[in-house]
């Protein structure tokens, strides 16, 4: 079981990351349970250069959750959410939903009309999270095939289905970063 020094009752700060958060994000990925781990260098780069489309949850001075994403250069209407994860002790308490809504409220997601992500069919929590987001935003959620298992060279990887949620209500993604503390 993952260790966590954070106090489970401490309030969460939802904010955009800075470079010092890269190692905390990497630790969350490793401990969250079902995320593909990337190098610590990758998470340092994300926190340094892609912070406008990333969000972290901090509790008691510790990074306990994060979202990373980007705007596909050829499809600027889309805010693509790449990874979302929480330390195990923080899961199932509504924080995942707050982080995804924080991502949609981030500076980098401003103006996006569609939220996209991919989900492995066996990831019940992730499926439930994005269906709940669609419900909360009053948006449609269209699920279609995306990456097939055979495309992953390492083997043992499931299919990834594309979730397309939209149209996003514009108030949801025209909030300023400071509103993430709400
Ligand atoms: C996926 C994850 C981010 C969800 O965050 P979370 O804080 O646990 O989810 P929330 O508490 O915000 O719940 C969101 C919705 O999903 C539902 N849900 C959450 N976990 C669930 C589970 N294990 N089974 C069924 N439904 C679940 C909640 O009931 C809620 O629905 P509601 O609003 O209709 O009540 C989190 O579980 C996690 O970090 N998992 C490991 C990493 C991972 O798999 N990431 C996704 C792949 S990129």
Render the burial of 21-59: b for 16+ CB within 10 Å, e for the rest. Answer: bbebbbbbbebbeebeebeeeebbebbeebbbbbbbbbb
The pTM of this model reads 0.92
CA distances in angstroms from 135 to 57, 71, 132, 162, listed in the order given: 23, 23, 5, 17
Query: How high is the pLDDT of residue 8?
Result: 54
Tell me the CATH class for 12-175: alpha beta
Residue from 90, 125, 126 to probe ligand 1 pocket by mutation (most atoms less than 8 Å from CB):
125
For the ranges 39-53, 54-68, 157-171, the lowest mean pLDDT is seen at: 157-171
Beta carbons of 23 and 39 less than 8 angstroms apart: no
Shortest CA distance to 166 belongs to which of 73, 107, 81, 95?
81
Atom of ligand 1 nearest to the CA of 119: 47
Query: How high is the pLDDT of residue 10?
Result: 64
Return the structure tokens found at 98. 């707050």
Position 174 pLDDT exceeds 70? no
Position 170 pLDDT exceeds 90? no
Ligand 1 binding pocket (C-beta < 6 A) is 32-35, 83-86, 91-97, 123-126, 128-129, 132
Confidence of residue 72 (pLDDT cuts 50, 70, 90): very high
The 10s digit of each residue's pLDDT in 126-166 is: 999 999 999 999 999 999 999 999 999 998 899 999 999 99
Beta carbons of 67 and 99 less than 8 angstroms apart: yes
Beta carbons of 82 and 27 less than 8 angstroms apart: no
Beta carbons of 40 and 26 less than 8 angstroms apart: yes
């Amino acid at each position: 079981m993952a260790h966590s020094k954070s106090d489970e009752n401490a309030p969460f700060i939802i904010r955009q990351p800075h470079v010092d958060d890269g190692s905390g994000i990497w630790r969350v990925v490793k401990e969250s349970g079902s995320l593909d781990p990337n190098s610590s260098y990758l998470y340092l780069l994300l926190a340094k250069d892609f912070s406008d489309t990333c969000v972290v949850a901090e509790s008691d001075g510790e990074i306990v959750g994060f979202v990373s994403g980007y705007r596909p250069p050829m499809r600027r209407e889309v805010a693509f959410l790449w990874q979302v994860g929480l330390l195990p002790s923080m899961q199932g308490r509504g924080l995942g939903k707050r982080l995804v809504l924080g991502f949609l409220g981030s500076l980098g997601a401003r103006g996006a009309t569609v939220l996209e992500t991919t989900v492995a069919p066996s990831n019940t929590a992730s499926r439930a999270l994005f269906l709940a987001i669609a419900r909360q935003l009053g948006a449609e959620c269209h699920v279609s095939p995306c990456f097939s298992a055979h495309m992953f060279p390492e083997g043992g990887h499931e299919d990834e289905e594309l979730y397309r949620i939209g149209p996003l209500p514009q108030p949801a993604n025209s909030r300023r970063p400071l509103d993430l503390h709400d």
